[in-house]
Structure 1
Amino acid sequence: MTQVLIAGAGPTGLTLACELARRGVPFRLVEAAPGPQPGSRGKGLQPRTLEVFDDLGVVDRVLAHGRMAMPIRSTDPGGRVTLSGTEELPARPGVPYPASLITPEWRVEEALRSRLAELGGAVEFGTALAGFEQSDEDVSAVVVKDGETETITARWLVGCDGGHSVVRKQAGIAFPGETREEVRMLVADVEVDGLDRGAWHLWRHEEGLLGLCPLPSTGVFQYQAGLAPGQDAGLGLANLQAVLERRTGRTDIRLHEPEWASLWRANVRLADRYREGRVFLAGDAAHIHSPAGGQGMNTGIQDAHNLGWKLAAGAPALLDSYEAERRPVAAGVLRLSNARLEQAIEQKSIPVRRDAETMQLTVSYRGSALARDDRDETAPLRAGDRAPDATKLRTADGERRLFDLTRGGHFTVLSFGVDVPPGDFRTVRVAGRLTGPDDVVDPEGRLAEAYGADDGTLVVIRPDGHVGLISDAGDFSAVSDYLAAVS
């Protein structure tokens, strides 16, 4: 019997598979499509997601095929041109990736499949989930490949199978929300003559928005055109070119036959719950967002990062915490993306504001059953928050970042002047000098500043990069009790 059956091999399912594979958890990853999905689809990765990929050991591949802080060149109806979108967060040691990354979704999936192969896993393409039954002990799922059926028995089933999720529907989980048929957009991947690839080009027009975004590491642009009711929704080259010429007023920009095209409709939904017995939902199977703000793919990847270590441990309290932590995050993302969609419709443009919220650096699980804290509620860093990075730490192996020491999906105990006994966790002990393999010297006080730490502070960083416990009491028994409760 396999431990986990994952349905759907998009970014969410692949991230979950990588999490399980690196922990040695038996799983199967099935995908109904016959092969990798074409098309750019989502194209924005936020800094918090890049931190997840750093932890998984895949970030360098993703960065190599993307571009950070791409300029946005916007032309208004009067022909006035403005540049924006290059904003980065102020340089801070705690934030290693200060801007969003543009890269096509298929490149993200490609990088994750390569990492999965390194970890000994693979996608079973052309294998569709036909149905399942569950008991108190396991899930019995029927899959179909090449007309032949197979029954897979697993302890857990995770539906990462998108907005039309078979898993969600058969689990009987409601998916309330709305489909706004009047809000549509043509999306296509096309080669373009007569346009430079140095910026994301936008044209505002009374008829609607027109955008051409160069996709790094490819020879194509992503074409986007908002459609009002009654406008031609044809996906052929002739209509795409006609819309382009009307909205830009230019005939020197020529499109080639689209490599991929789709008609997008505004679909905004959030599952009533993320779990039914031994069945979990993640990614678009649990929440569908407007693409405004570039949040959807990122939220699914972070769902998987949260769920993976909890499935590996299997403790009931951990599994119960998945929905409690992640569903409020999705609800917040829905509010953000809906507001940005309304702004885009009203202004016939793409909102370009970038801050810690849109970059998902403020995602927090404060108040979670897994967050323990003896600090005052006004403290800037609390249990549940994202664990900040720190740079220029001296170790026995040379200068390191904190993320170099926490990478790998394990618990880390960060100690400021408190002796830490051996255990099933990694220790980072901030000391005045290097006397042992776990010691680090923080000559500029960056760790102490990032964690608001004094002598006697103890921090537990969870496998998903969030603070689980933070205590200024200098008593290691608090750490022991916490780790016993979550393992």
Structure 2
Amino acid sequence: MTVVIAGAGPTGLTLAIELARRGVPCRVLDKAAALFPGSRGKGLQPRTLEVFDDLGVIGAVLAAGEFFPPMRLYRGEDVVWEKPIYDLLGLPELEPTPAVPYPYTWLIPQWRTDQILAARFAELGGTIEFDTEVTGFTQVDDGVTVHTRRGSIHADYLVGADGGRSAVRKASGVDFLGGALTEEQIIVGDVRARGLDGRCCHLLTRDGDQSTRFSLWNLPDSEHYQLVVTMAPGVEVPALTLEGMQEVLQHRSGRRDVTLSDLRWISLYRVNLLMAQNFRMGRVFLAGDAAHVHSPAGGQGVNTGVQDAYNLGWKLAAVSAGAPDALLDSYEAERLPVAAEVLHLSGLLHRQGFGATGPAPAAIHQLDINYRGGPLAVDTDPTGALRAGDRAPDGLLPDGRRLFDVFRGPHWTVLQFGSEPVDFGIPQVRLAPGDGYDVSVGSYVLVRPDGYVGTISTRPEVIRDQLRQAGEEAPAATASAGASRRGTTVSGETGRPG
């Protein structure tokens, strides 16, 4: 099987890594001459950090980023206040726990995220085909012919991860519904700045009025700042040049001591909330901005796209290995409702602005996104708080490892909570019920390759049935709690994952 991926941003590269590490051939095409040069999607949420842990890039991501800096409001040259971003959103700042190892939003410019993901894809043997613009496609019985400006490519599946102006989505004819959230426009770019002290999001104003601020965000491991300027309806948009931005800065802040240079990248856009009405059209899929466009408020866009790819990748690989094609229908069934929920959240945050009580922290962190009630969620004994379709929490094992260490990789995992030892042919761990895994004694918890709970049941045959539906063959005989066919059973009964 071959998969063509249109777009080499975070969504497309995440999917490429997922396929490459499972041995599924894929071709990544991008119309640009190189990776995206800007900092645009600069905030990675906790759930995305967990995904990157699984993909083998978390070390590089953490090394290249930092905690979000505080927000500092100026009136001219005077500092009015300095506050953590969580305070301004009305949210408590979370602390690491065994169940949630990465509770923070991580600041890292998108260009650096793209570089890290591209390097991981190359490590797995992949290459990005730049200067290769997808212009359309034709579906046939045995695949899809992808049309590009360099010629046509025949593949089994095509995934459009080619942004808000997606050529794949337009060629599909699927409805892309929604509209502008407000009439205001936003300028965002990367620039060097002199005259500012401290690592902050510097909110420069003349009189303390945040509505007319000129924002300069410090970026980690970089001499560049991300500039953000909101233009109210009816206000003339300045020239998108270094001189134009310097003029706006001086007008809005009254300051001449802050000087800009080396404008690396700049863009003007209007905040839209848009969503495709289908994410699957036969052998063609949409993911990331090609499927849904968000407000930047709350840092949801890049993160939702990464998790689209994470959901789709293992399913394409399973079908390649013999699972029924119907498994791919669960991509839209699971991710389309999530996209709708995130669109609502980002719109709410945009309208709310700073200083108001916001949604629950987990909604922003994307840790509580779940697939309950979906086609792959099977609860036969729903007695505790954890349900099929929920994110599988991390936890500490007696040997010093984390549950995420056991989950890491392309396999399914079974957690056995005082249940009869059974060899399901996949990695499995014996545990005692505890915080984070509120399940009854005797339960088996089946964890999907993307770290979500597929099944909670006291009956081994229910676990086996879901594995068969996903194309996983498991031995039928009961076995001792020794080595399984594809992994070693770990005894964790003296520990409590939290």
TM-score for both structures, normalised by structure 1: 0.89
Unaligned runs of 5+ in 1: 431-444
Q: Does 1:356 align with 2:340?
A: no
Query: What amino acid sits opposite 2:57 in the alignment?
Result: V
Q: Secondary structure at the match of 1:257?
A: strand
Which shows bigger deviation, 361-370 or 223-232?
223-232
Q: Is the 8 A contact 1:418 1:476 kept in 2?
A: no
**Partner deviation per Cα, 1:281-304 (whole Å, 9 max, x = no partner):** 000000000101100000000000
Q: Do the aligned partners of residues 283 and 28 (structure 1) sit closer, same or farther apart at CA in structure 2, a change above 3 Å counting?
A: same
Cα offset, 1:265, TM superposition:
1.3
Q: Could you tell me how far apart the structure 1 residues matched to 2:94 and 2:182 are?
A: 36
**Alignment map for 1:295-314 (pairs within 5 Å):** 295-314=300-319
Q: Secondary structure at the match of 1:358?
A: helix
Q: Do the aligned partners of residues 181 and 417 (structure 1) sit closer, same or farther apart at CA in structure 2, a change above 3 Å counting?
A: closer
Cα offset, 1:206, TM superposition:
6.3
Aligned partner of 1:20 in structure 2 is 19
**Partner deviation per Cα, 1:339-383 (whole Å, 9 max, x = no partner):** 111123xx6x89988811101001000000100112447x32111
Q: Could you tell me how far apart the structure 1 residues matched to 2:27 and 2:339 are?
A: 26
Q: Could you tell me how far apart the structure 2 residues matched to 1:158 and 1:299 are?
A: 16
Which shows bigger deviation, 124-133 or 349-358?
349-358
Aligned partner of 2:246 in structure 1 is 241
Q: Is the 8 A contact 2:238 2:245 kept in 1?
A: no
Query: What amino acid sits opposite 2:340 in the alignment?
Result: A
Cα offset, 1:140, TM superposition:
1.2
Cα offset, 1:458, TM superposition:
0.8
Q: Secondary structure at the match of 1:322?
A: helix
Q: Do the aligned partners of residues 76 and 251 (structure 1) sit closer, same or farther apart at CA in structure 2, a change above 3 Å counting?
A: closer
Q: Is the 8 A contact 2:162 2:290 kept in 1?
A: yes
Q: Secondary structure at the match of 2:398?
A: strand
Aligned partner of 1:257 in structure 2 is 262
Aligned partner of 1:426 in structure 2 is 427
Q: Secondary structure at the match of 2:156?
A: strand
Q: Could you tell me how far apart the structure 2 residues matched to 1:373 and 1:307 are?
A: 22
**Alignment map for 1:298-447 (pairs within 5 Å):** 298-314=303-319, 315-344=324-353, 355-376=361-382, 379-391=384-396, 393-395=397-399, 399-430=400-431
Q: Do the aligned partners of residues 206 and 419 (structure 1) sit closer, same or farther apart at CA in structure 2, a change above 3 Å counting?
A: closer
Unaligned runs of 5+ in 2: 87-91, 472-498
**Partner deviation per Cα, 1:126-163 (whole Å, 9 max, x = no partner):** 11113211123210112223xxx2x2111111100111
Q: Secondary structure at the match of 1:217?
A: coil
Q: Do the aligned partners of residues 27 and 220 (structure 1) sit closer, same or farther apart at CA in structure 2, a change above 3 Å counting?
A: same
Q: Is the 8 A contact 2:203 2:210 kept in 1?
A: no
Q: Could you tell me how far apart the structure 2 residues matched to 1:185 and 1:225 are?
A: 6
Q: Could you tell me how far apart the structure 2 residues matched to 1:485 and 1:19 are?
A: 20
Q: Could you tell me how far apart the structure 1 residues matched to 2:453 and 2:9 are?
A: 28
Query: What amino acid sits opposite 2:81 in the alignment?
Result: V
Q: Could you tell me how far apart the structure 1 residues matched to 2:68 and 2:360 are?
A: 10
Q: Could you tell me how far apart the structure 1 residues matched to 2:420 and 2:25 are?
A: 36
Cα offset, 1:200, TM superposition:
1.6
**Alignment map for 1:181-330 (pairs within 5 Å):** 182-203=183-204, 205=209, 208-228=212-232, 229-314=234-319, 315-330=324-339
RMSD: 2.1
Cα offset, 1:26, TM superposition:
1.1
Q: Does 1:463 align with 2:467?
A: no
Q: Does 1:451 align with 2:437?
A: yes
Aligned partner of 1:63 in structure 2 is 62
Q: Could you tell me how far apart the structure 2 residues matched to 1:68 and 1:79 are?
A: 22
Cα offset, 1:305, TM superposition:
0.0
Q: Could you tell me how far apart the structure 2 residues matched to 1:354 and 1:10 are?
A: 29
Aligned partner of 2:174 in structure 1 is 173
Q: Could you tell me how far apart the structure 2 residues matched to 1:482 and 1:400 are?
A: 27
Aligned partner of 1:99 in structure 2 is 104
Q: Could you tell me how far apart the structure 2 residues matched to 1:272 and 1:352 are?
A: 28
Q: Could you tell me how far apart the structure 1 residues matched to 2:439 and 2:180 are?
A: 48
Cα offset, 1:205, TM superposition:
2.5
Query: What amino acid sits opposite 2:54 in the alignment?
Result: D
**Matched pairs, number:** 457
Sequence identity, in percent?
Answer: 48
Q: Could you tell me how far apart the structure 2 residues matched to 1:423 and 1:207 are?
A: 58
Q: Could you tell me how far apart the structure 2 residues matched to 1:417 and 1:380 are?
A: 18
Q: Do the aligned partners of residues 380 and 70 (structure 1) sit closer, same or farther apart at CA in structure 2, a change above 3 Å counting?
A: farther
Query: What amino acid sits opposite 1:470 in the alignment?
Result: I
